[in-house]
Chains A and B, each alone.
Chain A
């Protein structure tokens, strides 16, 4: 009798916890959405464009941090997956000029690419996996020149866009599109990693053998993680195409993939907050470096200065907060 009661009690607690956990992600997302709308009405157009860029970066860093931080798979090829999404978006958009269809196509095609790479990746680990994804990042530009009839080689494709509905300015529309993508992505990821999938991810990351003994399908989990993050990258790529109104290999260089990894490391691996902070840094640091270069009168160092600033920030953050910016605890707040 007591035994049954205990079991019931044990079952009841997770039920509440589970429900709480299911509801929780919705609240910040709704607040975030409201804030974004508020900001797009108060900010001038260029800041809206930067806000939109943060949204696009957030979409991919969120997926990447789940893959790398929670599942322990290091991908240096997410820039290439973004390129896949961007090119798919451009091709479908130029053909049918139907934005929702193009977004779906971009996500689907990139997910497929994610399945292929993920299947190979599930058999590799550590540096070998990094090598494989690195190869993907290097191969994509040559695909565009090999099939130059379709992809127009280094010149890339321009993207036909519908004008924004009504009298909404272009930059505000772009910010809305990008943040819709980002918030939907984050909501799905937050929901996903809170459940069993998230536990599987962590179990596989921490100890594959133990995870297998506990009944977790390791290969399946790894492939799924890769596919999920590839889908995010595909959506982000499509958003980049919307932002730049053109796609070309030059927009998705190897450095982009490396910057993405750097951003999630600085932000805090495995945390969506970290992904957001990383996305903000990706936009803010180059801008800061450029204005610093301008005010100091330097002409030649501007571009390299961004790299220097990024490097310095990485070193400082890793020394001060090894877990990334998101791991910094505000003790003063807590004590109160």
Chain B
């Protein structure tokens, strides 16, 4: 037992010694993560693990845009440092890495932390430490609780808003057909279904799946047996592919209407492989420029940044998403002004008025912390998603689904938003 004590002592002292070196680097500024020449922000992302497919490309894209801004002088003389921590989509790891970012690396804010179960766990921690929690990468309505979590803001249109828009589409264009639903067994599926039923009325049949069980045979079988002609889906990319593939195998050919979360044609057709043509005609939505739209000045800008600062990564929805988040954060920094504090950036976001790549406005205000307020419908033609019709906005309550007609803006000449 003497050795136990010795080892115990050594280990604990080692832990203590390790620490001494790293804790001494404190900045003189009173605002954590902000100096005259730098602002440090952090994020947690699944770079590995079950959710890494596709999503692992977001943070590098965000970082690439920041590098582009830094190369052009930064914001108010400050360069943006983006610390990306891998949480493998495991809530326990998220706790660990977010604490590391906040307590150890002293980041100014958490930007675009990804995932509903993962990010829900750190809301209280970020609140107690008064860390701005900007533009969470998920469409859960959890982020929109300004009374409870004054520093947390969403980015994606929430799943209920999307559900209402999809429901309206089905009601207007596929009237009289038997509509059914397949959703993920969490807030994603539940919120989406709530939105769909608000505009479409009760669906004829509903099924759910869990990500830990990659077999949707029973679900698709039940939907076929119920005689469904339209299947609305709140699924992540892998399960969109799985569901469409399984349906084809059992000779079930309904019209698929899929949430934007799981409809990126590049990601889904990769999963479908040779069966990629099954995607033709699938209806979905989007709220950011489409990757295939080379005429869009936003896509031109993003492609340029992607080539210069992101090792020319394969250009898909995730890259567009990551850069759009970065663009919005740069706008927030500009609006917060030279005298950057945690309060000033929250005020700047709440003031809103952002004009960017989004097809619809952001909803931010002092009483609303939800992100984009609407979407436009897309359909897959020749393997590429295309917009059709017009954009719609709505809320997550009983508000009507309204067409949004304002013209999209173009990015500034140099690609960097001004104050």
Which residues of A are interface residues toward B (Cβ below 8 A)?
Answer: 24-25, 27-28, 31-32, 35-36, 39, 42-47, 49-51, 53-54, 141-142, 145, 148, 152-156, 158, 170-171, 190, 240, 243-246, 248-251, 253, 272-273, 276-277, 280, 287, 290, 294, 299-300, 302-304, 326
Q: How large is the interface on B (under 10, 10 to 19, 20 to 34, 35 or more residues)?
A: 35 or more
- A244:B185 contact, CB within 8 angstroms: no
Q: Once bound together, how far apart are the Cα atoms of A44 and B48, in whole Å?
A: 29
B199 within 8 A of A: no
Chain B 115-131 interface mask (CB, 8 Å, partner A; 1/0): 01110110011001000
Residues of B contacting A50 with CB < 8 Å? 15, 96
Tell whether, in the assembled complex, residue B103 and residue A27 are in contact, meaning their CB atoms are under 8 Å apart. no
* Contact in complex: A45, B212 (CB < 8 Å): no
Query: Which of A46, A152, A170, A249 has the largest count of B CB atoms less than 10 A from its CB?
Result: A46
Instruction: Give me 17 A-to-B residue pairs in the complex whose CB atoms sit less than 8 angstroms apart, sorted by A's number.
Output: A32-B12, A42-B16, A43-B15, A45-B103, A47-B104, A49-B99, A142-B213, A148-B185, A154-B210, A158-B121, A243-B95, A273-B3, A277-B7, A280-B11, A299-B59, A326-B3, A326-B7
A142-B210 Cα distance, complex, nearest whole Å: 8
- Whether the pair A300, B56 counts as a contact (CB closer than 8 A) is yes
Task: Tell whether, in the assembled complex, residue A46 and residue B12 are in contact, meaning their CB atoms are under 8 Å apart.
Answer: no
Min CB distance B72 to A, Å, is 21
Residues of B within 8 A of A (CB): 1, 3-5, 7-9, 11-12, 15-16, 19, 23, 47-49, 52, 56, 59-60, 63, 83-86, 88-92, 95-96, 99-100, 103-104, 116-118, 120-121, 124-125, 128, 184-187, 210-213
Q: How far is the CA of A276 from the CA of B210 in the complex (A)?
A: 36
Contact A46 B103 (CB under 8 A): yes
Contact A303 B47 (CB under 8 A): yes
Whether the Cβ atoms of A250 and B89 lie closer than 8 Å is: yes
Bound complex: CA A49 to CA B90 (Å): 17
Which of B47, B92, B124, B185 has the largest number of chain A CB atoms within 10 A?
B92
**What's the nearest-Cβ distance from chain A to residue B58, in Å?**
11
Q: Which residues of A contact B125 (CB under 8 A)?
A: 170, 245
Interface of A is mostly: helix
Is B8 a contact of A31 with CB atoms below 8 Å?
Answer: yes
A245 lies within 8 A of B121 (CB): yes
B9 touches A31 (CB 8 A): yes
Q: Is the CB of B211 within 8 A of A154?
A: yes
| A240 CB contact (under 8 Å) in B63, B84, B92, B186 | B92
A264 to chain B minimum Cβ distance, whole angstroms, is: 15
With A44-B103, A272-B4 given, is the CB distance from A155 to B116 under 8 Å? yes
Q: A332–B88 Cα gap in the complex (Å)?
A: 43
Chain A residues, CB < 8 A from B11 = 276-277, 280
In the complex, A158→B15 CA distance in Å?
30
Which of B63, B91, B128, B211 is the most central at the interface, judged by chain A CB atoms within 10 Å of its CB?
A: B91
A326: chain B residues within 8 A (beta carbon): 3, 7
Alpha-carbon distance between A148 and B8 when the two chains are bound, in angstroms = 42
A248 and B117 CA atoms in complex are apart in Å by: 8
Query: Is B185 touching A243 in the complex (CB atoms < 8 A)?
Result: no
* Contact indicator A253/B90 (Cβ below 8 Å): yes
The answer to whether A35 touches B9, judged by C-beta atoms less than 8 angstroms apart, is yes
**Given A154-B186, A304-B48, A299 contacting B8 (CB threshold 8 A):** no
B210–A44 touching, CB < 8 Å: no
Q: A142-B212, A303-B88 are in contact. Are A25 and B48 (CB under 8 A)?
A: no
B1 touches A27 (CB 8 A): yes
Residues of A within 8 A of B56 (CB): 300
Chain A residues closer than 8 Å to B124, beta-carbon distance: 245
B48: contacting residue among A170, A272, A302, CB under 8 A:
A302
Query: Which B residue's beta carbon lies closest to that of A252?
Result: B92
- Measured between beta carbons, the chain B residues less than 8 angstroms from A152 are 186
Residues of B within 8 A of A294 (CB): 83
A145-B100 CB under 8 A given contacts A43-B16, A299-B47: no
In angstroms, Cα B2 to Cα A27, docked, is 9
Decide if A158 touches B120 in the complex (CB within 8 Å).
yes
B99 touching A46 by the CB < 8 A rule? yes
* Contact indicator A155/B186 (Cβ below 8 Å): yes
Name the residue of chain B whose CB is nearest to the CB of A271: B4
**Complex Cα gap A44–B99 (Å):** 11
Chain A residues whose CB sits within 8 angstroms of the CB of B104 once the complex forms: 44, 46-47
Interfacial chain A residues near B5, Cβ < 8 Å: 27-28, 31-32
Interfacial chain A residues near B187, Cβ < 8 Å: 155
